[in-house]
Amino acid sequence: MTTTLGTASADPGEIDTGRLEVGETRDGSPFGLPVAVVNGADSGKTLYIQAASDGDELNGVGVVQQVVPQLDPTELSGTILIVGIVNYHGFQVAEHRNPIDDTKMNRAYPGNAAGTSSERIAAATFEAATRADLILDLHQGSTSRMIDEVRVRCGTRHRLHGECLELAKVFGCGYILDQKGPDGQLARAAPDEGIPTVDPELGGCVGWDETSIRKGVEGVFNVLRYYGFLEGERSPEPQTRAKGFEQFGAPAGGLVDLEPDLGDRVTTGDTLFTVTTPFGEPKQTVTADSDGILWRSRRLPQVATGEYVCSVATDIDEY
């Protein structure tokens, strides 16, 4: 059976790329999101992958760029639908939010086909995503520094929590954040439609990070093997799971000297960072409120009072 997404159309055993038209840019030109359809020779499940829903998060684009040329549709069972760049307008100007309506795309799901710019793009991609049996929404910690992890956002009480957690474990970055996300996330809206969905968060960087992209590529192939799209065994390995997340801001202005490295375990009372003067004099020190793992930190050392410094994931277990 022929499968289409936007202008991409592939028969079994074929792959095609095209555009999913969403509207027009300010000069009246039609614009479309780059899409790919990989139609397996044999029948099976459908996987939906999207990247760059936040316009400055390019590692997911790097993953798509490396995965697609490695796929042989004649050896695939099932179908893969891909939107390579979701936040079209943000991507153009390397910004996180959609500059047309100053909105974070991943707060606009399930979207509205007659709504704002972000809501229309969300609606178009949600329609594509909800054709699938499984969804991967590729993100990263923006341009901050962050470990590679997978987020389960539906919440522990959701009927699909177990299936989302399984998908996160199969993807297998090593770390899982299992915490209900804010309204409007694809990983919140799609499980409500009965589709297991996770947000792989592939590090955090300006531009591309090769290590995070490699983990993302491995994660996609882990999913393809485990769920029967590709031959080959895949038994998921135990992951370090966090269920809480604490953010720390600067108590004073100056330069941040971060004590632990990303991924380090911290214990309540451990020094997280010291704010120093330009002359190296310590001003104030901030300590961990709970046991956990240093999960994310700012990239630039300079801070104003109250500015974000780092995050510690808490409530850690193995899953």
Binding site for Zn ion (CB under 5 A): 54, 57, 139
User: Which amino acid belongs to residue 101?
Assistant: D
Between 58 and 123, whose beta carbon lies closer to Zn ion?
58
ω before 73 within 30° of 0 (cis)? no
Between 80 and 146, whose beta carbon lies closer to Zn ion?
146
Between 130 and 140, whose beta carbon lies closer to Zn ion?
140
Provide, rounded to whole angstroms, the least separation between the CB of residue 303 and Zn ion: 22
| CB-count exposure of residue 216 (10 Å: 0-12, 13-18, 19+) | buried
- Nearest CA among 31, 50, 301 for reference residue 199: 50
Between 79 and 106, whose beta carbon lies closer to Zn ion?
106
Provide, rounded to whole angstroms, the least separation between the CB of residue 225 and Zn ion: 26
User: Which amino acid belongs to residue 115?
Assistant: G
Between 57 and 119, whose beta carbon lies closer to Zn ion?
57
Provide, rounded to whole angstroms, the least separation between the CB of residue 16 and Zn ion: 27
Between 54 and 163, whose beta carbon lies closer to Zn ion?
54
Between 57 and 163, whose beta carbon lies closer to Zn ion?
57
Provide, rounded to whole angstroms, the least separation between the CB of residue 106 and Zn ion: 6
Provide, rounded to whole angstroms, the least separation between the CB of residue 152 and Zn ion: 15
Structure tokens of 20?
A: 């999913």
Between 211 and 268, whose beta carbon lies closer to Zn ion?
211
Inter-residue contact 186 to 126 (CB < 8 Å): yes
Provide, rounded to whole angstroms, the least separation between the CB of residue 90 and Zn ion: 10
Structure tokens of 195?
A: 């589709």
Got the DSSP string for 184-252? T-HHHHHHHTT--EEEEE----SS--HHHHHHHHHHHHHHHHHTTSSSS---PPP-EEEEEEEEEE-SS
Provide, rounded to whole angstroms, the least separation between the CB of residue 296 and Zn ion: 12
Strands (DSSP E) found in the chain: 3-5, 8-10, 14-24, 30-39, 42-51, 77-83, 134-138, 145-146, 149-152, 175-178, 197-201, 240-249, 254-258, 265-266, 271-276, 282-287, 292-297, 302-303, 308-318
DSSP state letter for 28 = S
Buried b (16+ CB within 10 A) or exposed e, 25-38: eeeeeeeebbbbbb
DSSP state letter for 135 = E
Provide, rounded to whole angstroms, the least separation between the CB of residue 98 and Zn ion: 12
Strand duo 8-10 + 271-276: pairing: unpaired
Between 52 and 256, whose beta carbon lies closer to Zn ion?
52
Provide, rounded to whole angstroms, the least separation between the CB of residue 143 and Zn ion: 11
